[in-house]
Structures are given as C-alpha cells and as structure tokens.
Amino acid sequence: MKYITRTIWILSVVSLLTDTASEMLYPIMPIYLKTIGFSILLIGILEGVAEATAGLSKGYFGKLSDISGRRVPFVQIGYAFSTISKPIMAIFTYPLWIFFARTIDRFGKGIRTGARDAILSDEATPQTKGKVFGFHRSMDTLGAVIGPSLALLYLYYYPQDYKTLFFIAFIPGLFAVLTSLYLKDKKAVEHKTRVSTPFFSFLKYWKISPTEYRKVVIGLLVFTLFNSSDVFLLLQAKQSGLDDTMVIGVYIFYNLIYALFAFPIGVLADNVGLKTILIIGLAFFATVYFGMAVNTNLYFFFGLFFLYGIYASATEGISKAWISNITDKKDTATAIGTFSGLQSICTMLASSLTGLIWYQFNATVAFMTTATVTLFVMVYFLTIPKPTIIINDTNQ
C-alpha cells in the first residue's frame, strides 16, 4: 500500500464524505421529484442537463487547471459548490429552482474532476494507475454505501420526510470541504502570463491529442450515448414492486459491491491490462440491461445490481487510468476533462432519449436498446491494439 500516498488518502476521504452527502439523496431523488410533480420525461431531461453541465465544465476547468499549473483550488471550490446545493433543493421546490440547484451541484463536480484526477495521476506511475484510481473509486463509492444507509435509517423513523434529508446531507458535505483544506499543490506555481481561455477551448485538444486517445474516447462515447442515468434502473425496480426501502436497499447493495471490488479490480487491471478489464466490465453491463428488460422477479434485482457493481468497478476508474496512461502528463486534466465533457453531452442525450423511449414505448425497449449497442462497443474495443503507455516523468 506504499503507493497510496497522503494526498491520495486525503482526496479519497474528501470523495467519501461528498459521496455520502450526494448518495444520501440520489436513491430518493426520483421518488422526491415525482412527489413534487416531475414526470418520467422531465426527470430524464433534468438528469441529462445536470450531467451535461458537469461535463462541459469538466473540460473547461480541466484545461484551466493545466494552463495555470494548479490543482488544489479547483478541487476545493468544486466540493464547496456541491455542498451548498443540497439545502437549496429542499428550500425551493419549483421546477426551475430544482434545475438550478441540481446544476450547481454538477457544476461543482465539473470544477473539481479534471484537477482531482490529474492529482491522482501525478501521484501514481503508469504501472500503478489501476490501483490508485481503483482505491479512490473504492473510497468514493463507500460513501455511496454510507449515504443511502443513513437515508434508509432516517426514512424508517420518518417515512416520506424527504426534505429533511437534504439538510442532513449538508453536514458530511461541509466536512468534505474542511478536509480538502489539507490538500497542497506539490510545488509553488511560477507566475504565468494570463492566457485567454474560452469556455469551449478545451475541445481544441481533440485535434492535437494522440490517435490512441481518440480511438478509446470514441468507443467510450458511443457506449455513453446509450447509457442513461442510474435513476432509470431505480425506477424500474420501483415500478416492478419494490417499496422505497427496498429500492434504497438494492442501491446500497450495488454500491457496496462497487466499493469492495473497485480496488482489487484495479490491482488486477495493472496485471492483465486496462483494456481487458474494461471489456469484461462492459460484458457485465450488457448482461444487467438485458436482465432489466425481462426481469419480473423482485429478488433477482439483487443479482443484477451485484453484476452492475462489478461493471462499475471495472470501468469507471479503469477508463480514466487508461486515458491518463496514453496522454502527456502536462495535458492530463485537459484530456480527462475533454473526455468527460463529451461524455456528459452523450449522457444528456442518453438520459433524455431513454426517458422518451420509456415514455413512448416501455422500459423493455429502452433497456434492450442499450444492451445491444454495448455488445457492438465491446467488439470495437477488441479491435484497438494494446495500449501504448506514454512515460512522461520518471519521477512521477
């Protein structure tokens, strides 16, 4: 564990606390939104717009971090934005305000993500990227176990009192912001001439990025275009007969599997290859969505969410580790931010499209479509040669 440095620990604890706050609300979000008048279609649009906001800002602030040579301020400000959004959603229930609060939350994620992942990359070597990103994902997702568990406990004593949970979620978010103050940039930043950075300037990186980067990102984006928000999985579970407690329970179970397997799968990926593990993860994903399309057994949902946890462990951190290994160190935040920006545009389209298909047809058609496209993406990745690692710094 010597490769898990102090900085990685701090970042991981901050992520754990923030995810505790966010995930305390995530499983009850679709239920809460429906109680204040949101339709399935509007929920899909809300999630899509929120994720698009996060993604586009990831690209911009990732590039800004690379240009400035600073990481920590972006991390601290980003976590602060996400924290203050929590009570806003409870105070204002008019749809426009809900969109605003959800967007502020995702905007905070956009500010911090590129810089945070660049720090993680800088703290690792090409041979330990899977371990480092996997460890961070495990800690981050542990918050997604603690958060819903607290929500489940609270709702047991105060059924349907969703608003209070938004205020409770503010507490771990505040601790996350305070913990982030212990982060320090590695070295003093030299004074640089201010450079104009238009909001969409990060997109220029696509033209100058390595060919392998573009190939990998294209595959990931096609997959994302048909991979909607997890909200739809929870809605399917809810509409299949699970009560609120069981919906939260199955979501906790999924995140527990994710948290338990992210680190060991990261270790495995460093040994057998990031590409191999990613493809296996996509196979699990396709299995889950095919299962969601035909499943009528309430308890079978736990099996599907178990596989879904394995999928997340084998793709989320692994994809970023792969990208950071095939791009130049000085462009790490821009590379990951650009990918995240394009990915979130696809997520917006995917969530909106899934909501529309579900609304016009049914859940089976929506899930079957996603699963089928995933199979084609797996074949595409099989055609990409073994990744060529770019060694940026021998002292990395």
Q: Which of 320, 312, 348, 318 is nearest to 114 (CA)?
A: 320
Q: Report the Cα–Cα distance between both ends of the chain, in Å, rounded.
A: 17
pLDDT for res 199: 66
pLDDT surpasses 90 at 195: no
Residue type, 13: V
Instruction: In whole angstroms, give the CA distance from residue 216 to residue 319.
Output: 9
Q: What is the mean pLDDT of residues 17-37?
A: 78
pLDDT for res 172: 93
Taking each helix axis from N to C terminus, what angle separates 95-122 and 332-360, rounded to the nearest 10 degrees? 140
Residue type, 20: T
pLDDT for res 394: 39
Residue type, 135: F
The residues near 189 (Cβ < 8 Å, ≥ 6 apart) are: 68, 69, 70
**Tens of pLDDT along 51-61?**
667 677 887 88
Q: Which of 107, 86, 84, 103 is nearest to 95 (CA)?
A: 103
pLDDT for res 197: 65
Instruction: In whole angstroms, give the CA distance from residue 170 to residue 165.
Output: 9
**Tens of pLDDT along 44-98?**
777 667 766 767 788 788 888 888 888 898 999 999 998 988 888 777 767 677 7
Return the number of other C-beta atoms located less than 10 Å from residue 87's C-beta.
Answer: 17
Res. 281 pLDDT band, cuts 50 70 90: very high
Q: State residue 36 phi and psi, 5-degree precision.
A: -105, 15
% residues pLDDT > 70 (the chain): 89
Q: Higher-confidence residue: 240 or 182?
A: 182
**Tens of pLDDT along 326-373?**
888 888 888 888 887 788 778 778 877 877 887 788 878 888 888 999
Q: DSSP for 107-136?
A: HHHHHHHHHHHHHHHHTS-TTTHHHHHHHH
**Tens of pLDDT along 347-358?**
778 877 877 887
Q: Which own/partner pairs from 200-206 qualify as long-range (CB within 8 Å, at least 24 positions apart)? A: 200/56, 200/59, 200/60, 201/60, 201/63, 202/59, 202/60, 202/62, 202/63, 202/334, 202/337, 202/338, 202/341, 203/59, 203/338, 203/341, 205/63, 205/331, 205/334, 205/335, 205/338, 206/338
- The helix/strand/coil state of 2 is coil
pLDDT for res 356: 82
Q: Which of 175, 27, 21, 49 is nearest to 110 (CA)?
A: 49
**Tens of pLDDT along 214-260?**
999 999 999 998 887 777 887 777 777 777 777 777 878 888 899 89
The mean pLDDT of the chain is 82
pLDDT surpasses 60 at 264: yes
Map out the domains of the chain with their CATH numbers. Answer: 6-184+207-382 (1.20.1250.20)
Q: DSSP for 333-372?
A: HHHHHHHHHHHHHHHHHHHHHHHHHHHHS-HHHHHHHHHH
Of 14-18, 95-99, 209-213, 355-359, which has the strongest mean pLDDT? 14-18
